[in-house]
Amino acid sequence: MRLVLLGPPGSGKGTQAARLKVELGVPHISTGDMLRAAVAAGTPTGLKAKAVMDAGKLVSDDILLAMLEERLSQDDVRGGFILDGYPRNLAQADALDHLLAKIGQPLDAVVKLDVPNEVIIGRCEIRFAAEHRKDDDPVVVRDRLKVYAEQTAPVADFFSRRGKLQVVDGVGELNEVTARVKRALADESAAANG
């Protein structure tokens, strides 16, 4: 299974990816984790990324794509993968489409976790109070949700036009949401094989 998880920050993508990784037996590829690992390992792409981050800038789409291509060439992804945090904009979605075609691993499905902003802000406020993570500060979360609406939300339309998008209600008990995601993947698989 080759899967992309979409959704606003705080929607539960990372949590669902961790659960699905075990269920599907494929690696969870988080671009944030991948970026930190490449920098720590001192890979050529990691060194480029570190220079950009040290200058206080965002890592470019080209650098992220190069890192993703390196990661997707590794043996453990031959049976599939779960992408979390990428693509974040239409240019990345198009680049991913071309990369996956080039390596002969087209996406099987894209699942978007649908969670209202008020719920996300509430979740992040609880996490911020408990863990004091800067990215969970309600002011930061509101800004991140605005960026998501402007840049990442259109990515769902991109995949919808390709017949890959499944929208799943991301509100509720954790096991319920996981069950919904698994049903969406089963529906997508049945449609593809039907």
Q: How confident is the model at residue 69 (pLDDT cuts 50, 70, 90)?
A: very high
- Distance (Å, whole) CA 101 – CA 97: 6
Q: How confident is the model at residue 194 (pLDDT cuts 50, 70, 90)?
A: low
The 3-state DSSP class for residue 88 equals: coil
pTM: 0.88
pLDDT by residue (tens digit) across 182-193? 999 998 777 777
Count Cα atoms within 13 angstroms, Cβ side, for 86.
30
For residue 87, say whether it is annotated as part of any ligand binding site: yes
The token pair at 119 is 């719920």
Q: How confident is the model at residue 59 (pLDDT cuts 50, 70, 90)?
A: confident
Pick the CATH number of 2-193 from 1.10.3720.10, 1.10.3470.10, 3.40.50.720, 3.40.50.300: 3.40.50.300
CB 152 within 8 A of CB 88: yes
Mean pLDDT calculated for residue range 96-107: 95
For residue 182, say whether it is annotated as part of any ligand binding site: no
Q: Over pLDDT 70: what percentage of the chain?
A: 99
For residue 127, say whether it is annotated as part of any ligand binding site: yes
DSSP-H helix ranges across the chain: 13-24, 31-41, 44-54, 61-72, 90-102, 117-131, 138-147, 153-161, 174-193
pLDDT by residue (tens digit) across 109-156? 999 999 999 999 999 999 899 998 787 888 889 988 998 999 999 999
The 3-state DSSP class for residue 87 equals: coil
Mean pLDDT calculated for residue range 13-20: 94
For residue 22, say whether it is annotated as part of any ligand binding site: no
CB 111 within 8 A of CB 166: yes
For residue 189, say whether it is annotated as part of any ligand binding site: no
For residue 172, say whether it is annotated as part of any ligand binding site: yes
For residue 183, say whether it is annotated as part of any ligand binding site: no
For residue 134, say whether it is annotated as part of any ligand binding site: no
Mean pLDDT of all residues belonging to the chain: 91
